[in-house]
Amino acid sequence: MERAGSRLRMLAFVVAFMFVALSTRLWFLQVLAGPQHDRDARDNSLRTVTTDALRGDIVDRAGRRLVRNRISLEVRINRDELGDDREATLANLSEILGVPAQDLGEALDTKLYYSYQPVPVAEFVPEEVYFKIREEPEKYPGVEVVEQSVRAYPQGSLAAHLVGWVGQISADELDAPRFSGYGPSDTVGKAGVEATYERWLRGEPGEERFLVNSDGEVLREFDPKPPAPGHDLQMALDLDVQRIAEQELEAGVKRARTVWDESSGSSLAANAGAVVVLDPKTGGIVAMASWPTFRPSWFVRGLTEPQRETLFESPQAPMLNRATQITYAPGSTFKPFVALAAVKEGLASLGGYYDCPAEYVHPGDESGAIFHNWDGTGAGTLSIASGLKISCDTQYYKWGSDFWFRDAATNKEELQRRVRQWGFGRDSGVDLPAEASGTVPDRKYVADHRSVYPDGWIPGIDILLAIGSGEMKATPLQVAQAYGALATGKLCRPHLVSRIEDGGGDVTKRVGGHCRKIPYTQAELSYIREALRGVTEGGTASTVFSGCPLDVAGKTGTAERPPFQDTSWFAGVVPAEDPQYIVLATVEQGGFGAETAAPIVRNIMSRIYRVPCEGPELGSSED
């Protein structure tokens, strides 16, 4: 038995190997992959069925609907109930839906749903599909037609940039912490207030949870949670004013294209523009238009290829909100803030008179840089008010120089600090996503952008800043906000939404009224307002407003933007005595401020107040 003994030892080795193999595998399965299997075990038995909550409505200040919900019929298939009849059922469905069975199959093979969750395969189906399926249920095992709510836009494209649009949540959003609790098939606000107020509009989805065994039998039903509908948004917006603003902006832009521009040797391109109508006392946005625009309803059924190209690939970029997402040099609309800075810092006084020569050279500068008035002529010695009225530039160049010398001594950047008091260079805080904050060029900015400033910190930076030019950039909304502060003495955070209401009409939250006083006296502010009134009564905008009975204070602006044509600006306060509205227009490549932007503002004011304003449809070639 000696040989048998050695062979038994071989057998023992084989058996030992079996135990090693089994324990190794168990280690991997239980200890290393244990947590994953634990989750799998839980997913196996716990089933959650969610019911979407009805998304909140969006209405204007008078309660008129901008966005509401409507019912779409959706065909869904439950894969567990489909069983072996898949091919036949898809063929039957294909016939009544007019969609290839292969497409339905692909929709059905999605990985977004658990096998027990019904998968949507067709939306917006006609009612007859519902009846056909109900008549012959045996032909459609596991198929159901359910009502699904989708967004509807009773006002068409009106306020498209403001309400925004909704769409299926993206993979990136799903990973973001603010979307915790969302499922992969959920709809979320993608732009406009739909995005900003997502958490209010969405409501709480209902949830039913079951413990099921392997046969799918429900063993235990946890207390169901009914869906809580989303809150409604009431906007500060006035639909009538919004419509006027959009119409006048488009008309103004199109008129500008007929104007011959001397300096570029072609017609004005006027490719885009924005209008802001602001209630300066609260910061409420009464209207905000951006051109070109789009239709939010395109997103409801999914974009067609031409729609997608228009929205995302055309150079017009119609989805951009020019009022908040693009910054422009504010040009001469910036001058009132610089004038007040000069007064506050002791460089000028409200009673003083200052030279307005045809050109200006920085003292001691030998580079040969000469700064011209916009019209190339001098106007003698002028008060601050008269300088604003004709938009004299050389007065401001001088103050820019003075600020630069002061700064060289004190290092305090007083001009920059002063203009920031009006909200420039930082977010306005408006309730719209992806707001641009603009720039106020200072030492740090210059240091960070050496490619733009090859010569570093030079006097020209302050000199150009004094006329709102160079790298000074602001959104139209920021300029409107600053004029609001000029009109009331308070800088208010602009807001589109004024109230959030729950389903019962109770106010859950009020938005707006975030205003703070600016450090300027009433005397200083009323001096500037009076000066700006002169702009429309004998100043650069007097031709435009000559036939208008309204009491308007305003300022034109023409900002250079090489290699493109000038940006046209007009910011107006009406009535100047007791300001109710700030109306501001900006037209990209729109030429002079008095030429394109000012008539847009005048027409809007005229229609808001229903008073006829006679005057040229195209203004004068004045800054």
Partner 1 sequence: MDLVAGRVYADERRPIRHVDVFLLVVVGLLLLAGFFLLYSATNQTLKQDHLDPFLRVNKQMVTAAIGIVLILLMATFDYRFLKVYASFIYAGVVLSLILVRVPFLGSSAAGAQRWFEVAGFQITPSEFAKLGLIVMLAASLSELKHSVPTMQDVIRLCAITLVPLILVFTQPDIGTSIVMVAIAAGMFLVAGVRGRHLASLVVICLVLIAAAFQLGVIKTYQLDRLRAFLDRENTPADVRYNLDQAEIAVGSGGLIGQGYLHGRQTTLDYVPEQHTDFIFTVAGEEFGFVGALFVLLLFALLLWRAIRIAYLSKDPFGTYLATGVAIMFAIQMFVNIGMVIGIMPITGIPLPFLSYGGSSMLASCLGVGILLNVHMRRFK
Residue 209 beta carbon to partner 1: minimum distance, rounded to whole angstroms: 15
Among 71, 176, 211, 408, binds partner 1 (CB under 8 A): 211
Residue 90 beta carbon to partner 1: minimum distance, rounded to whole angstroms: 18
d(CA 424, CA 406): 21
Question: Is 111 near partner 1 (CB under 8 A)?
Answer: no
Question: Is 448 near partner 1 (CB under 8 A)?
Answer: no
Between the CA atoms of 592, 595, 596 and 602, what dihedral angle is there, to the nearest 10 degrees? 130
Q: Quick check: 356 and 375 in contact, CB under 8 A?
A: no
Q: Of 172 and 215, which has the nearer Cβ to partner 1?
A: 215
Q: Of 210 and 298, which has the nearer Cβ to partner 1?
A: 210
SS3 letters across 481-542: HHHHHHHHCEEECCECEEEEECCCCCEEEECCCCEEECCCCHHHHHHHHHHHHHHHCCCCCH
Plot region of 438 (φ>0 → left; ψ -120 to 50 → alpha; else → beta): left
Residue 29 beta carbon to partner 1: minimum distance, rounded to whole angstroms: 5
Q: Of 4 and 409, which has the nearer Cβ to partner 1?
A: 4
Q: Quick check: 442 and 419 in contact, CB under 8 A?
A: no
Question: Is 4 near partner 1 (CB under 8 A)?
Answer: yes
Q: Of 212 and 350, which has the nearer Cβ to partner 1?
A: 212
Q: Of 17 and 124, which has the nearer Cβ to partner 1?
A: 17
Two tokens at 431? 């309730």
Q: Of 35 and 505, which has the nearer Cβ to partner 1?
A: 35
d(CA 376, CA 233): 51
Strand 166-168 with 187-189, pairing: antiparallel
Q: Of 22 and 91, which has the nearer Cβ to partner 1?
A: 22
CA-nearest of 158, 149, 145 to 202 is 149
Question: Is 5 near partner 1 (CB under 8 A)?
Answer: yes
| 557-586: contacts with partner 1 (CB under 8 A) | none
Q: Quick check: 188 and 167 in contact, CB under 8 A?
A: yes
CA-nearest of 255, 256, 235, 214 to 116 is 214
Question: Is 19 near partner 1 (CB under 8 A)?
Answer: yes
Question: Is 221 near partner 1 (CB under 8 A)?
Answer: no
Name the helix (H) or strand (E) containing 622. Answer: none
Q: Of 42 and 610, which has the nearer Cβ to partner 1?
A: 42
Question: Is 30 near partner 1 (CB under 8 A)?
Answer: yes
Residue 587 CA to chain centroid, in angstroms?
18
Among 150, 176, 214, 563, binds partner 1 (CB under 8 A): 214
Backbone angles phi, psi at 325, to 5 degrees: -105, -10
Residue 25 beta carbon to partner 1: minimum distance, rounded to whole angstroms: 5
d(CA 587, CA 257): 11
Question: Is 369 near partner 1 (CB under 8 A)?
Answer: no
Angle between helices 598-608 and 239-256 (to 10 degrees): 150
Backbone angles phi, psi at 442, to 5 degrees: -135, -175
CA-nearest of 360, 536, 560 to 469 is 560
Among 48, 213, 349, 367, binds partner 1 (CB under 8 A): 213
Question: Is 523 near partner 1 (CB under 8 A)?
Answer: no
Residues sharing a CB contact under 8 Å with residue 574, sequence separation 6 or more, in sequence order: 550, 551, 552, 553, 580, 581, 583, 605, 609
Question: Is 25 near partner 1 (CB under 8 A)?
Answer: yes
Q: How many residues bind partner 1 (CB under 8 A)?
A: 39
Among 152, 212, 358, 361, binds partner 1 (CB under 8 A): 212
Quote the strand ranges of 304-453, DSSP E.
Answer: 353-356, 359-360, 371-372, 380-383
What character string, x for contact with partner 1 (CB under 8 A) and - otherwise, covers 43-82?
A: -xx-------------------------------------
Question: Is 23 near partner 1 (CB under 8 A)?
Answer: yes
Instruction: Tell me the window of 41-49, 330-338, 455-463, 466-474 that interacts with partner 1 (CB under 8 A).
Output: 41-49
Q: Of 6 and 522, which has the nearer Cβ to partner 1?
A: 6
Strand 581-588 with 507-510, pairing: unpaired
Residue 19 beta carbon to partner 1: minimum distance, rounded to whole angstroms: 6
Residue 453 beta carbon to partner 1: minimum distance, rounded to whole angstroms: 60
Instruction: Tell me the window of 139-147, 211-219, 297-305, 573-581 that interacts with partner 1 (CB under 8 A).
Output: 211-219
Binding site for partner 1 (CB under 8 A): 1, 3-5, 7-8, 10-12, 14-15, 18-19, 21-23, 25-27, 29-31, 33-38, 40-42, 44-45, 211-215, 219
